[in-house]
Amino acid sequence: MATIMSSLTTEFVNTPFLDYSDPSIKQQQQSAIDAVRAKLGRTYPLIIGGAAVTSDQTFTSINPARPDEVVGIFPKATTEQALAAIAAAETAFKTWQYVSPDRRAEYLLAAAQKLTERRMEFNAWLIFETGKSWVEADVEVAEGIDFLNFYAREMHRLAQPQPLTRLPGEENDLKYIPLGVGVVIPPWNFPLAIMGGMTTASIVAGNTVVLKPASTAATIAANFVNLLGEVGVPAGVINFLPGPGGTIGDALVADARTRFIAFTGSRDVGLHINQLAATPQPGQIWIKRTVLEMGGKDAVVVDETADLDAAAAGIVASAFGYQGQKCSAGSRAIIVSAVYDQILPKIVERAKVLAIGDPDAPTTNIGPVIDANAFKKIREYIEIGRDEGQMELGGGDVDRQGYYIPPTIISGVAPTARIAQEEIFGPVLAVIKAQDFDDALAIANGTEYGLTGSLYTKDRTRMERAAREFHVGNLYFNRKSTGAMVGAHPFGGFNMSGTDSKAGGRDYLLLFTQAKVVTEKVS
């Protein structure tokens, strides 16, 4: 315990990214890819109360770069199994809630160490199951390690005596106690970092959870749950329940025993969860808490004072990193008219040289989108975009197996166009001309979302104004709109982007706790 206490009180530091220009690191990553390739196609059970549960009804997770390649096979959880998982979590909560905060934090630190040791293996799982490039995969695993280390330290901080006004004749104490049984529903686009962050924030706070992973990325979640079991997290604290969201998801959210729901995903599903959770069920004695992150339509604004080369680089990185499949992706480039014609070709030229290929190749920049449904939806938006602007790049087919869509840039888009208002979640960039900075700021704020945004400018007055008026949860000056770092950039947005949960920040664990004050009258 002394060692753990020492670790918990050291300052949090972000995990450095791997340097793939180092031949030895590159070779180690390739070896990990080869090793994981040999493990593809295995069957994984449900885990309910620590017991492995199988079923005749299964589904598969596939490699989006090679759709005929099965990554993992999973049981389709039933409503009855969902209720059993809640019961197992409820039973485990009776003892887990009283495990000391520092002991719970110790499990996270141990998991961070094990994940660090198996970092390249988890990189490889991300490459195969979600089509991430080597760099994008490694950045995500580093973020997952950071969440574990950060939330462990945050739980230790919250467990310390809290400052209260002292009154004569009384002793007062405030403690943050857990909520109960939670349901964690993570997305497929960050299936390790966000899934792991929501799950471990829940349990380190003293709650127990039912984890319903994204079906397209269930193998990564299964491996992470197994890792937590390896470091000793008790049975029933995390229950692993892959399956159809429309069936078991609604059952989990609606159950009277569910105390909170942590969700990251689409706007429509998030609103449905919010509505369902707000309806009291027979026997329910609490208001359910929802922690929702629901996407964005993020903008990169460029004014006439900006470094146009830096801005073009930031726009391309924001729009096309991980094929634009990030809620923070800069899918709108809003350029003031004075420099519009100068920067547009710079954006196009930078996007042209992005290498499209198999994610398991180290030189690939652009891999596939996640599945056939995403492929179809994005292609439909591209066709809409043909009528809403000028096709500057992309729009065609990629001659290779898999769900590949080339980087697509559409210029001359009206601020109210569908491709400028609706979340596409793919490699499609709408370029919008603004009259001036005032107009650009109004356009940036002109959607129902409010997650991230960037402003490229050298004008300090405009930065100060944007800090007040650019209505997003995460605003960046002279850098891309993606790449929030745990601890440095607490992440979450406004409006239809969610409940501003600020993952990776000092407020986050408060969402999974409730404050209890104990007062004793003393003589």
What does the pLDDT look like over 251-270, one tens digit per residue? 999 999 999 999 999 999 99
The DSSP output letter for 13 is: -
Residues 311, 301 contacting (CB under 8 angstroms) = no
**181-185 and 208-211 strand pairing:** parallel
Res. 229: pLDDT tops 90:
yes
pLDDT band for 523, please (50, 70, 90 cuts): confident
* % of the chain residues with pLDDT over 90: 97
d(CA 379, CA 385): 10
Task: Residue 363: count other Cβ atoms within 10 Å of its Cβ.
Answer: 10
Comparing 136-140, 397-401, 479-483, the range with the smallest average pLDDT is 397-401
What does the pLDDT look like over 137-186, one tens digit per residue? 999 999 999 999 999 999 999 999 999 999 999 999 999 999 999 999 99
Computed on alpha carbons and rounded to an integer, the radius of gyration of the chain in Å comes to 23
Helix (H) or strand (E) holding 271: helix 267-277
- What is the location of CATH 3.40.605.10 in the chain? 2-8+23-294+501-519
Res. 379: pLDDT tops 50:
yes
Q: What is the pLDDT of residue 401?
A: 93
**494-495 and 390-393 strand pairing:** unpaired
Res. 338: pLDDT tops 60:
yes
Res. 4: pLDDT tops 90:
no
Show the tokens assigned to 334.
């809003």
Res. 6: pLDDT tops 90:
no
Instruction: Specify whether 327 is catalytic.
Output: yes
Res. 511: pLDDT tops 80:
yes
Count Cα atoms within 13 angstroms, Cβ side, for 367. 31
Q: What is the pLDDT of residue 246?
A: 84
**Total number of residues shown for the chain:** 523
Instruction: Specify whether 469 is catalytic.
Output: no
In a 10 Å sphere around its CB, with 0-12 CB exposed, 13-18 middle and 19+ buried, how is residue 465 labelled? middle
Hey, what CATH topology would domain 299-485 get? Aldehyde Dehydrogenase; Chain A, domain 2 (3.40.309)
Residues 66, 251 contacting (CB under 8 angstroms) = no
- At 438, the amino acid letter reads D
Among candidate residues 293, 388, 392, 469, the one labeled active-site is: 293
Q: What is the pLDDT of residue 244?
A: 86
Res. 345: pLDDT tops 50:
yes
Alpha helices in 353-469 (DSSP H): 372-388, 418-421, 437-444, 460-469
Hey, what CATH topology would domain 2-8+23-294+501-519 get? Aldehyde Dehydrogenase; Chain A, domain 1 (3.40.605)
- What is the location of CATH 3.40.309.10 in the chain? 299-485
Q: What is the pLDDT of residue 416?
A: 98
Count Cα atoms within 13 angstroms, Cβ side, for 401. 8
Q: What is the pLDDT of residue 7?
A: 86
Averaged pLDDT for residues 374-400 = 97
Res. 3: pLDDT tops 60:
no
**pTM attached to this predicted model:** 0.97
Distance (Å) of CA 105 to CA 154, 514, 515: 9, 18, 19
Among candidate residues 106, 327, 392, 423, the one labeled active-site is: 327
Q: What is the pLDDT of residue 1?
A: 45
What does the pLDDT look like over 56-112, one tens digit per residue? 899 999 999 999 999 999 999 999 999 999 999 999 999 999 999 999 999 999 999
